[in-house]
Amino acid sequence: MINNEPVHINGDGLTSRDFCYIDNAVQMHLIAAPSNNSDATNQVNNVVVGDRTTLNELCEHLRSHLADQFPYLNDFKPIYCDFRAGDIHHSIADISKANQLLGYEPSHRTGERLGEALSWYMKDTSEK
């Protein structure tokens, strides 16, 4: 989007995923590392948000965060392609074990901190 190149979405954009902001992963590590709960030792936990975001929603989050700096994105539309063979339509992870054993509650929902992340990506891209 930043480079005004086409964005391709496989399928109709209603495919959904349980995207996770990096701060949630950091939060989980900070909760798990000092835990004294023996039931939590050597356990594998899902570190995600626990809800779905469609590819259309994610694309719109990105577009709306970038549109002020890149006016050509005001009329931006993704290009829809064939759905990828073997891909699943919807994915959501269960965070109940991490919640029960460690008290994990994700601190950031999808889209909330994209502006911060995008600023970092734009700075990183401009420095290359």
pLDDT attached to residue 121 = 77
pLDDT attached to residue 54 = 96
Residue 99 has pLDDT above 90, yes or no: yes
pLDDT attached to residue 126 = 64
Residue 83: inside a domain: yes
Residue 64: inside a domain: yes
Identity of the residue numbered 127: E
pLDDT tens per residue, range 19-64 = 888 899 999 999 999 999 999 999 999 999 988 999 999 999 999 9
Spatial separation of the C-alpha atoms in residues 111 and 55, rounded to whole Å: 12
- Residue 38: give its domain's CATH number: 3.90.25.10
Residue 1: inside a domain: no
pLDDT tens per residue, range 69-98 = 899 999 999 999 999 999 999 999 999 999
Do residues 47 and 20 lie in contact, with contact meaning Cβ atoms separated by under 8 Å? yes
Pick from 109, 115, 108: nearest CA to 68:
115
The whole-model pTM stands at 0.82
**Cα-Cα end-to-end distance for the chain:** 18
Residue span of the structural domain in which 114 resides = 8-126
In DSSP terms, 16 is beta-bridged to 54, 90
pLDDT attached to residue 112 = 78
pLDDT attached to residue 116 = 79
Residue 21: inside a domain: yes
pLDDT attached to residue 87 = 93
Number of domains in the chain: 1
Residue 3: inside a domain: no
